[in-house]
Amino acid sequence: MLFSQKLVISLTLWTSVVLALVGSHSTELFVIMILIGILIARELSSVYIRPSIAYKMDVFIQVGIIAFIAIVMRRILDILEII
Amino acid sequence: MAKHKLLRPEYSSKIIAVIFISISVYLFLFTDHINPALASAFIGILTLLIVNFPTVEEDVSIASLKSGVLPYHEILDDLEVASMGIHIPPKGDLTGSRAYIPASESIEVPEISDEMTIVSLGRGKVGIAVTPPGYPLLEEAKERIDYDLEDKGLESGRECMGHLSEGMGLARSFSLRRKDGKVKLRITHGRYQDYCASLREVSTNICTRTGCPICSAFLTGASESLSSRLKVVDFEVEGRHIKFDLEVI
């Protein structure tokens, strides 16, 4: 089995576990947990993956970080009762 | 037997991705299940982008690995050189690793430089210094992980060689350690076991002289990480396991 296949299967399993635990309760928590999964997978697989795959994973991470910043900003505004 | 086109990873991954993305679109448009829709979209896009595939068919790559190494060993067999090779790391005038095969077992190893291929320095220093067949594979691994191996020790050697086994899929696993004054390299073959066995059938000394490209990449990696000349003193095959006992000289 190719390493990229193992990587996708691992992240699919992680997503399934997070989905089973979080359910439909909190989209924010779900997105953050997925981001954590990608970060862990990226770090652990850095030695084994090709630069092209590493670049694609970095794109996922960048999108996840933007989503994370949006979530944090929303929370801050919510606490400050601006929105 | 060749796999059906749709079962090959480049096609099956796209089919799986389209299925997940379709589920995601359905969940987004017709239900309130946002998290399952996000999960499905994530898995779909991940499968589409991350699953890569070899650009050269496996059979073709194995054939090219064989065609590169067989003529090389036919020449060594005809020259009737010693059966145990010595793996030499780059040092001094030598800028790239070499596999040195002495003319006979008892001959001492001379200082090798880049220009030397047929070594004839007199006083018993006679032999052949060739670029190890696995050298390009090791260089590729080093380039991919942006790693310099020379004289970094066993731990760094293991890390780089981990890319050879896990990252490039050349072996299922390996171990590299020092024991009883010797360096022990164990390689467990995965999908290339038949390739390795077929080479041994054609040329019996292939493993101990330089190794096939796969074993040679590991042997060269061991030599570079220890920055020592490693002589093959014992070799054994046990099913999928290849066992090299190496002596630092």
Total domains in chain B come to 2
For the cut 60, the answer to whether the pLDDT of residue A7 exceeds it is yes
Residue B170 lies in a domain: yes
Residue whose pair of structure tokens reads 């041994």 in the numeric block: B200
CA angle (B163 as vertex; B205, B243 as ends), nearest 5: 30
Q: Is residue B171 part of a domain?
A: yes
pLDDT, average across residues A61-79: 92
Longest distance between any two alpha carbons in chain B, whole Å: 86
What pLDDT is stored for residue B193 in this prediction?
A: 84
More confident residue, B195 or A50: B195
- On whether the CB atoms of residues B150 and B157 are closer than 8 A, the answer is no
Interface residues on A facing B, Cβ-Cβ cutoff 8 A: 2-5, 7-8, 11-12, 15-16, 18-19, 22-24, 27, 30-31, 34, 46-53, 56-57, 60
Query: For residue B1, what pLDDT is reported?
Result: 46
Question: Is the same domain home to B12 and B81?
Answer: no
A24:B47 CB<8 A: no
| One domain, residues B182 and B241 | yes
What is the full DSSP assignment across B141-210? HHHHTT---TT--HHHHHHHHHIIIIIT-S-SEEEEEEETTEEEEEEE-STTHHHHHHHHHH-TTHHHHT
Closest Cβ–Cβ partner in A5, A12, A56 for B49: A56
Q: Which domain holds residue B91?
A: 58-248
Pairing of β B182-188 and β B118-120: unpaired
Q: What is the mean pLDDT of residues B133-137?
A: 88
Question: Is B87 a member of any domain?
Answer: yes
Q: What is the pLDDT of residues B186-208, one digit of tens each?
A: 999 888 888 888 888 887 788 88
Q: What's the token pair of residue B181?
A: 């004054």
The answer to the question of residue B119 being in a domain is: yes
Q: Check whether residue B127 and residue B17 sit in a common domain.
A: no
Percent of chain B with pLDDT over 90: 16
Give the pair of three-digit tokens for residue B75. Answer: 């020449």
In the predicted structure, residue B70 carries a pLDDT above the cut 50: yes
Q: Which residue of A has its CA nearest to B36?
A: A19
Average pLDDT over residues B106-130: 76
> Do B135 and B208 share a domain, yes or no?
yes
Within an 8 Å CB–CB cutoff, is residue B162 touching chain A? yes
Q: What is the pLDDT of residue B78?
A: 82
B81 and B148 both lie in a single domain: yes
- Specify if B3 maps to a domain: no
Among A1, A4, A16, A46, pick the best mutation site for testing chain B contact (most B Cβ within 10 A).
Answer: A4
Nearest Cα residue in chain A from B9: A5
Query: How is chain A split into domains, by residue range?
Result: 3-79
The tokens describing B101, both together, are: 């095969």
Label residue A67 by pLDDT band (50, 70, 90).
Answer: very high
Residue B36 inside a domain? The answer is: yes
Q: Is residue B2 part of a domain?
A: no
Residues of B in contact with A15 (CB under 8 A): 39, 42-43
ipTM: 0.87
Contact B42 A56 (CB under 8 A): no
**pLDDT over threshold 60, residue B218:** yes
User: For B31-134, where are the alpha helices, taking DSSP H only?
Assistant: 34-50, 58-79
Report the sign of the C-alpha dihedral through residues B1, B5, B6, B12, in that order: positive
pLDDT at A83 over 80: no
Tell me whether residue B221 is in a domain.
yes
| Alpha carbons B191 and B147: distance in angstroms, whole number | 26
